Amino acid sequence: METYKMFINGEWVESSNEEVLDVKNPSTGTTMAKVQSASNEDVHRAIDAARNSFDSGIWSRLPPGERSNILLRVAELLEKNQEEFIKIETENSGKSIKQVSGYDIPYTIDNIRFIAGACRTLEGKAMAEYVSDGTSAIRREPIGAIGIITPWNYPLMMVIWRAFPAIAMGNSVVVKPASYTPLTTLKLAKILQDAGVPDGVFNVITGPGSSVGEEMAKSDKLEMIAFTGSTEVGKRLSVLGASNLKKVSLELGGKAPFIVFKDANIDAAVESAIVGGLVNNGQDCANSTRYYIQEEVFDKFLARLRERIQKLNIG
């Protein structure tokens, strides 16, 4: 059984407290790997690595075109190694291999290429003039070192969505993946290293969110925290971030409505309801969780939905 190390400042390191956590395969309930349980010392070591790499300019001062080329190499290497990532993501998340191989990993690779292209096309804007002897313009700049805390429902994809726009712009990051699903994020760190991302730009630490996440939010060396997860934890991070005026980006729980009017195509509505409510095993922030059906077609819709659900295969 493999014991994964954390990735800090370009090195694979064990936790300073020598503690490890079991990572389970939810389909079997068995332990599939072990990861480090970061101490506060480890958290601050990763933050310092991100802070120092940003301040050095080794990444933040590279032309956007050079950063873009490196991220395109990341996409290429991930594509070449996607079978390994598909296997690990499937076993670690409990998803069907069909979803991981047909959606999660291919879209993750495509998202990297999109982000790599987008960082080359940023525009500055001239502003309205307010004084006669001056001019104004908007220029986009990286903000510094950023803490990233990602969820378990799309383990690898959420790291890309959160961390890659940040590093594409020249920021350095500390990523804390969900304790349930950290393995592909750790594998991704090796891909970035092989692609040429400098040491300290992309760091990965593992451990309980209650301690690691809070320590990140309290740090005055991180300019920003980006979090995807529960509303309760998001509120806590907002409070901690406010204590040092840290920027906070939150994607929290959703309760999306699904509405069917009486003139709708009921068969099409049922198919949309199946996808909207059950995609990714129902574990999606935008899933339909409230259904509003106009009274005239309520019974018809419910009967068709029940019939359709009974024909679904599990797994």
Q: Report the distance separating Cα 294 and Cα 296, nearest Å.
A: 6
Q: Are residues 274 and 182 in the same domain?
A: no
Residue 132 lies in a domain: no
Q: How far, in Å, CA of 127 to CA of 254, rounded?
A: 36
| In a shared domain, residues 218 and 112 | yes
Given this model, what pLDDT does residue 315 score?
A: 61
pLDDT at 180: 95
SS3 63: coil
Residue 127 lies in a domain: no
Q: Can 119 be counted among the known catalytic residues?
A: no
pLDDT in the model for residue 104: 94
Tell me: do 268 and 204 sit in the same domain.
no
In terms of domains, do 23 and 172 share one? yes
In a domain, 90, yes or no: yes
Q: Does residue 185 lie in a domain region?
A: yes
**Helix ranges (DSSP H) in the chain:** 40-56, 64-80, 82-93, 97-99, 105-118, 155-168, 183-195, 209-218, 231-242, 266-278, 298-310
Looking at the structure, do residues 289 and 219 belong to the same domain, yes or no?
no
Q: In CATH, what number is assigned to the domain containing residue 46?
A: 3.40.605.10
289 and 232 within one domain: no
* pLDDT per residue rounded down to tens, the chain (315 residues): 899 999 999 999 999 999 999 999 998 999 999 999 999 999 999 999 999 999 999 999 999 999 999 999 999 999 999 999 999 999 999 988 999 999 999 999 999 999 999 999 887 777 666 777 777 788 889 999 999 999 999 999 999 999 999 999 999 999 999 999 999 999 999 999 999 999 999 999 999 888 898 999 999 999 999 999 888 899 999 999 888 999 999 988 878 899 999 999 999 999 999 888 887 777 777 788 899 999 999 999 999 999 999 988 876
Q: Token pair of 211, please?
A: 């301690």
Same domain, 86 and 55: yes
Q: How far, in Å, CA of 14 to CA of 11, rounded?
A: 10
Task: Determine which one of 89, 285, 295, 296 is catalytic.
Answer: 285
d(CA 54, CA 38): 22
> Which residue from 85, 224, 223, 206 is spatially nearest to 157, judged by alpha carbons?
85
Asked if 159 and 262 sit in the same domain, the reply is: no
* Per-residue model confidence (pLDDT) at position 276: 86
38/79 same-domain check:
yes
Residues 272 and 247 in one domain: no
Q: What pLDDT is recorded for position 286?
A: 77
211 inside domain = yes
Closest CA to 217 of 194, 233, 193, 195: 233
Residue pair 139/124 in contact by the 8 Å Cβ criterion: yes
- At 285, list the tokens: 């922030």
Sign of the dihedral through C-alpha 36, 37, 42, 46: positive
Q: What is the pTM of this model?
A: 0.89
In the block, residue with structure tokens 């996607």: 82
**Structural domain count of the chain:** 2
* Domain boundary residue, one of 224, 251, 278: 251
User: For residue 263, what are the domain limits?
Assistant: 256-310
Q: What are phi and psi of 21, to 5 degrees?
A: -120, 145
- Domain co-membership, 208 together with 303: no
Residue among 234, 222, 106 at smallest CA distance from 166:
222
Q: Would 195 be classed as within a structural domain?
A: yes
Judge whether 137 lies within some domain.
no
Do 284 and 153 meet the contact criterion of CB atoms below 8 Å apart? yes
Catalytic residue among 91, 251, 271, 307: 251
Q: Which residues, other chains included, contact 115 with Cβ-Cβ below 8 Å and sequence gap of 6+? A: 71, 160, 164, 165, 168
183 and 234 fall within a common domain: yes
Backbone angles phi, psi at 130, to 5 degrees: -115, -15
User: 251, 285, 300: which is the final residue of a domain?
Assistant: 251
CA distances from 222 to 132, 155, 199, 210, 245 (A): 38, 23, 17, 18, 10
pLDDT at site 131: 72
- CA angle 261–282–269, rounded 5-degree value: 20
131 in a structural domain:
no
Residue ending a domain, choose from 251, 272, 295: 251
